[in-house]
């Protein structure tokens, strides 16, 4: 597999500043410091309580109505190798940060597609949550059909970004060594309140020394692509995906919406850019420090070319590329169009280094 873009990955680091037109630092500060005029986290979530926000409902409906494909259908899909690559990235991320007997919290577990990955690293227990009720039922079913999973698991339908997890489970009853948000955390970036709620949920349920890991679209990659479009063009696509922005004159830190379509997976679903510097700053407030943020193509290159990583805990991630069908027995890997989509994502890992308290001043 070759990556024509990889040699440029370092140069691809792209600086963009939010212009603050919609959400000036001043306004953000007001929201962050419990100014009386602004809703507090609790007030906001109480208002949201009877139903999810419109966007959260739209996202849940998208995932609830996605058909579940069996293995044969998945193999026929035009994004077969893309899915395999994304699964491989998650396996490496999980393998690098999970120890035997760890407890896991998966906030956006979907249909339970990562259950075998957790089984492979011998976890003790897993709590999986997702806003899409149908996906949660499928995850539960998948777990029940596993032969000797080797770990306990339970699943809940829960909005993990718009609501406190204490709706469902108390930190005193479940603290994880690893909190995982795979291909889902960007939905929280609709508002600052949601990002804070998500981080509060992660931190409340994570042990000191524990890891917060995930995969999300890379904001630098997306903004670079958007800015390279001619004139007033706002969308780009290839045979497997399409991204459509609504405007390109403002770059707000939160609520920078685009619509994402992925063949055989998602059809025009609203998503949000994750402004990474803001994410780091806010995560620090909740007691978590960044270990790394690595674009997926770079993650792939580093993993297969670094012997220590490649054989971490007895896992050979290079061989795993074949076992997971990223490259099949005929030597075929992702098509150029699939490869472009794989480059859209990044992997991140944070470590919880200290307790946090809700009375601490905001950094924004």
Ligand X SMILES: C[S@@+](CC[C@H](N)C(=O)[O-])C[C@H]1O[C@@H](n2cnc3c(N)ncnc32)[C@H](O)[C@@H]1O
Considering only 18, 162, 210, 334, the residue that binds ligand X (CB under 6 A) is 162
Instruction: Yes or no: say if 177 and 210 are a contact pair by the CB < 8 Å rule.
Output: yes
Dig out the tokens for 145 from the structure. Answer: 């059909």
Total chain residues near ligand X (CB under 6 A): 21
- Which part of the chain contacts ligand X (CB under 6 A), choosing from 58-66, 224-232, 308-316, 338-346? 58-66
Closer residue to ligand X in complex, CB, 91/177? 91
Check the annotation: does 34 bind a ligand: no
Touching ligand X, residues 71-110 (CB under 6 A): 108-110
Distance of CA 40 to the CA centre of its chain: 25
Check the annotation: does 159 bind a ligand: yes
Check the annotation: does 182 bind a ligand: yes
How far apart CA 240 and CA 77 sit, in angstroms, is 10
- Which part of the chain contacts ligand X (CB under 6 A), choosing from 17-25, 131-139, 271-279, 345-353? 131-139
Check the annotation: does 328 bind a ligand: no
Distance of CA 52 to the CA centre of its chain: 20
How far apart CA 170 and CA 179 sit, in angstroms, is 15
Check the annotation: does 231 bind a ligand: no
Dig out the tokens for 146 from the structure. Answer: 């596993």
The CB-of-213 to ligand X minimum distance in angstroms stands at 11
By Cβ distance, which residue is nearest to ligand X?
Answer: 110
130: contact with ligand X by CB under 6 A: yes
184: contact with ligand X by CB under 6 A: yes
Considering only 45, 177, 182, 200, the residue that binds ligand X (CB under 6 A) is 182
The CB-of-116 to ligand X minimum distance in angstroms stands at 12
How far apart CA 59 and CA 72 sit, in angstroms, is 27
Closer residue to ligand X in complex, CB, 65/237? 65
Closer residue to ligand X in complex, CB, 213/288? 213
187: contact with ligand X by CB under 6 A: yes
- Please state the φ and ψ torsions of residue 340, each to the nearest 5 degrees: -60, -40
Closer residue to ligand X in complex, CB, 116/354? 116
236: contact with ligand X by CB under 6 A: no
| Closest alpha carbon to 131 in 105, 171, 163, 101 | 163
The CB-of-112 to ligand X minimum distance in angstroms stands at 8
How far apart CA 73 and CA 261 sit, in angstroms, is 19
Closer residue to ligand X in complex, CB, 130/285? 130
Closer residue to ligand X in complex, CB, 183/276? 183
Check the annotation: does 286 bind a ligand: no
Check the annotation: does 87 bind a ligand: yes
131: contact with ligand X by CB under 6 A: yes
Considering only 92, 160, 176, 213, the residue that binds ligand X (CB under 6 A) is 160
Considering only 32, 44, 135, 200, the residue that binds ligand X (CB under 6 A) is 135
Planar angle of CA 53, 59, 61, nearest 5 degrees:
100
How far apart CA 293 and CA 289 sit, in angstroms, is 11
Closer residue to ligand X in complex, CB, 113/252? 113
Closer residue to ligand X in complex, CB, 113/287? 113
Strands 345-352 and 288-295: antiparallel
The CB-of-354 to ligand X minimum distance in angstroms stands at 26
Residue numbers belonging to the annotated binding site: 86-87, 90, 108, 130, 159, 182, 187
Residue numbers belonging to the annotated binding site for S-adenosyl-L-methionine: 90, 108, 130, 159, 182, 187
Residue numbers belonging to the annotated binding site for mRNA: 86-87
Q: Which residues of this chain interact with ligand X, rule CB under 6 A?
A: 56, 59-60, 63, 108-110, 113-114, 130-132, 135, 159-162, 182-184, 187
């Amino acid at each position: 597999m070759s990556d024509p873009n990889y040699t440029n990955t370092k140069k691809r680091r792209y600086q963009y500043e939010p212009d603050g037109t919609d959400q000036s630092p001043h306004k953000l500060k007001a929201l962050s410091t419990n100014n009386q005029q602004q809703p507090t986290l609790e007030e906001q979530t109480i208002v949201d309580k009877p139903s999810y926000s419109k966007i959260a409902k739209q996202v849940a409906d998208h995932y609830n109505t996605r058909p579940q494909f069996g293995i044969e259908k998945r193999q026929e899909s035009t994004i077969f190798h893309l899915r395999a690559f994304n699964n491989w990235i998650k396996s490496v991320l999980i393998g690098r940060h999970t120890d035997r007997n760890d407890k896991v919290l998966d906030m956006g577990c979907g249909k339970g597609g990562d259950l075998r990955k957790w089984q492979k690293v011998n976890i003790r227990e897993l709590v999986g949550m997702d806003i899409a009720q149908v996906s949660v039922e499928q995850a539960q079913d998948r777990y029940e059909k596993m032969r000797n999973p080797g770990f306990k698991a339970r699943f809940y339908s829960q909005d993990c970004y718009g609501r406190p997890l204490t709706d469902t489970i108390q930190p005193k009853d479940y603290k994880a060594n690893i909190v995982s948000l795979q291909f889902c955390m960007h939905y929280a970036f609709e508002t600052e309140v949601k990002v804070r709620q998500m981080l509060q949920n992660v931190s409340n349920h994570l042990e000191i020394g524990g890891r917060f890991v995930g995969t999300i679209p890379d904001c630098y990659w997306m903004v670079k692509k958007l800015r390279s479009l001619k004139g007033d063009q706002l969308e780009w696509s290839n045979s497997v995906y399409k991204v459509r922005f609504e405007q390109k004159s403002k770059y707000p830190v939160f609520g920078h919406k685009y619509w994402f379509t992925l063949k055989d997976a998602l059809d025009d679903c609203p998503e949000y850019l994750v402004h990474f510097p803001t994410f780091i700053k806010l995560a620090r407030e909740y007691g978590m420090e960044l270990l790394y943020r690595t674009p997926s193509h770079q993650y792939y290159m580093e993993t297969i070319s670094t012997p220590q990583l490649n054989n971490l805990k007895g896992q050979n991630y290079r061989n795993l590329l074949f076992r997971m069908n990223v490259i099949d027995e005929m030597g075929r890997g992702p098509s150029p169009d699939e490869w472009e989509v794989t480059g859209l994502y990044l992997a991140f890992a944070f470590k919880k280094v200290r307790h946090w308290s809700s009375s601490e001043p905001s950094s924004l």
